[in-house]
Amino acid sequence: MAMSESGEDIEGVEDFAALFEASVKATQYARGQTIEGTIVAIGPEVAFVDVGGKGEAVIEIAELKNADGALEFAAGDRIKATVVSTSGGVTLSRKLMRGAATARQLADAFQAGLPVEGKVERAVKGGYEVRIAGERAFCPLSQIDIMRTADPATHEGRVYTFRIIEYKEGGRNLVVSRRALLEEEQRASAAEVRRSIVVGAVLRGRVISVRDFGAFVDLGGGIQGLLHVSEMVWSRVTDTSQIVAAGEEVTVKVLRVDESTQKIALGMKQLTENPWSTVGATYAVGQVRTGRVTRVAEFGAFVELEAGIEALAHASTFPPTGRREEWTQSVPVGMSGAFEILSIDPEQRRIGVVRRSRITFAGRSGARRRIS
């Protein structure tokens, strides 16, 4: 036994110093924190992981093996794991993240609020049956997502990360929530997302809900923008649900940001070519094109010549019966027919057309005329 000049046990002092240092380093991490590190050594029961300047952590060898019992990692490999203990050093776990935790680890996860992975097996009354580490758990319908789920079957078969909110009967009675973790992620990322939302930015988002006037899109971090029906596509939209659906991933462009109200206006059609930009080169007076009547007004009928290009057949171009209800019967909404181009104004986005037909009618002089 090595002794100092004062008679102290040198090895004991060194052991105490090492334990004290490890304890200090361990307090720099919190239970439930996810960290990355490099495996530096693999022993018979545990592996040592270099987690940077804050020291080493340990992880059980069983956590590094696959279902067949073979090691999936070697010294020098990087791994991501969750801190499950900081008592006497940092202890890590991977299997909580992979949904293969033991009953003991599930109890620890509940106490520490650690996330666990589970597979949604099927929808049941009031929620979902979730398989976690061989145990069945229940996830209430309101806790499976932040947005309301229209079709419960959407989540069946999916693997998600959950938080255990109730732990009873030694783990045989578990209640879990995915929404709790999603809301935490939203709060953490809201500031970063807000910085990326500037006029002209192109972003990915998820449709939260669809209304007659447009759709609300989640841009991340709980921040939503409105995709107005007029900004979805270049053509006229009569049913927004035919363009986007709740839960769908979409790419949008930020059109306006109102800092005072925090309202964000989005567009999709701006990411495609404006069809009016080529009208001058592709349309000419005298052309006859097939069009579809989209709506009828007091002054005429609007005719879609192609997606995003709408022309007007003025009321004066129809037989002069003098009665609106008569000329409108010849051009009901949805009708397709041949229309001749009378005028083009690309800058004002206006095209005048007349319907081509073989209908003859009597003029004031009694002579019969034909529109052709």
**Residue 190 host element (H or E):** helix 179-196
Name the superfamily (CATH) of residues 277-370.
Answer: Nucleic acid-binding proteins (2.40.50.140)
CA 167 to chain centre: 31
The whole-chain average pLDDT of the chain stands at 81
Task: Please say whether the structural domain 197-271 has been given the CATH code 1.20.140.10.
Answer: no
Q: DSSP for 73-122, please give it.
A: --TT-EEEEEEEE-TTSEEEESHHHHT---HHHHHHHHHHT-EEEEEEEE
Tokens 């229940």 belong to 138
Q: Residue 265: what pLDDT?
A: 95
What is the chain's alpha carbon radius of gyration, rounded to the nearest angstrom? 34
Q: What is the pLDDT of residues 81-98, one digit of tens each?
A: 888 778 778 888 876 655
Task: Compute the distance between CA of residue 342 and CA of residue 313 in angstroms, rounded to an integer.
Answer: 9
- Top-level class of domain 10-93: mainly beta
Q: Residue 332: what pLDDT?
A: 87
Cα torsion through 55, 58, 59, 61, rounded to 10? 130
State the span(s) of the chain assigned CATH 2.40.50.140. 10-93, 103-182, 197-271, 277-370
Q: What is the pLDDT of residues 152-178, one digit of tens each?
A: 888 999 989 899 999 887 767 899 999
Q: What is the pLDDT of residues 267-308, one digit of tens each?
A: 999 998 888 888 888 899 999 999 999 888 888 899 999 888
Q: 308: closest CA among 297, 294, 288?
A: 294
Give the global pTM: 0.47
Name the superfamily (CATH) of residues 103-182.
Answer: Nucleic acid-binding proteins (2.40.50.140)
